[in-house]
Amino acid sequence: MSVALSAQDMSRALTRISHEILEKNHGSTNLVLLGIPTRGAHLASRISTIMSGIEGREIPVGTLDITLYRDDLRLRPPRTIMATSIPAFGVEGRDLILIDDVLFSGRTIRAALDALGEVGRPASVQLAVLIDRGHRQLPIRADFVGKNLPTSREQTVKVQIEEVDGTDEVTIEGQG
């Protein structure tokens, strides 16, 4: 096991992502953040807090559960359905930032795009992830990345965050 991101690294990465999102979107006026449960949702609310501090206004944040849209449901035991909460004004015409912890095969994001289709039609959808570990199985890429982490398929990337696991840390497990 090796540590890829310490708590401090993670905090710096989230701050940088927040600035990058604001830079690319020329401010925050049209932004909505949606985190994918479990850990993506917590990362989204952290990014929202950081951005609110920079911009001096509340940045809307919600969660989008994608369990019911997964294409690998039959390959695994049934998953618990997590909460979806979309800001009251919806996503119509907004610049929407999807936030997740790890980008791997890209299938979660495909499912998220399908789920989003039921919610509304944003002006644009961008993707922010804490870790991009490669091995994509679909033509999907992230717009904002905390850290690119070259891994082998056999390895496991484990993201721990304060709100869920009691500590902030990203580790790689298994042989490279």
Residue ranges that bind other proteins, judged by CB under 8 A: 38, 65, 68-69, 73-84, 86, 114, 118-120
* CB closer to other proteins, 72 vs 162: 72
* CB closer to other proteins, 54 vs 90: 90
Per-residue DSSP letters for 88-138? TT-STT-EEEEEEEEESSSHHHHHHHHHHHHH---SEEEEEEEEE----SS
Taking the complex as a whole, the smallest distance from the CB of residue 75 to other proteins amounts, in Å, to 6
Separation CA 147–CA 102 (nearest Å): 10
Taking the complex as a whole, the smallest distance from the CB of residue 80 to other proteins amounts, in Å, to 5
Taking the complex as a whole, the smallest distance from the CB of residue 102 to other proteins amounts, in Å, to 11
* CB closer to other proteins, 56 vs 77: 77
Asked whether the beta carbons of 128 and 97 are under 8 A apart, the reply is: yes
Quick one: three-class SS letters along 133-172? CCCCCCCCCCCEEEEECCCCCCCEEEEECHHHHCCCEEEE
* CB closer to other proteins, 21 vs 98: 98
Taking the complex as a whole, the smallest distance from the CB of residue 44 to other proteins amounts, in Å, to 17
Taking the complex as a whole, the smallest distance from the CB of residue 71 to other proteins amounts, in Å, to 9
* CB closer to other proteins, 18 vs 108: 108
Asked whether the beta carbons of 63 and 121 are under 8 A apart, the reply is: no
Residues near 74 by beta carbon (within 8 Å), at least 6 away in sequence: none
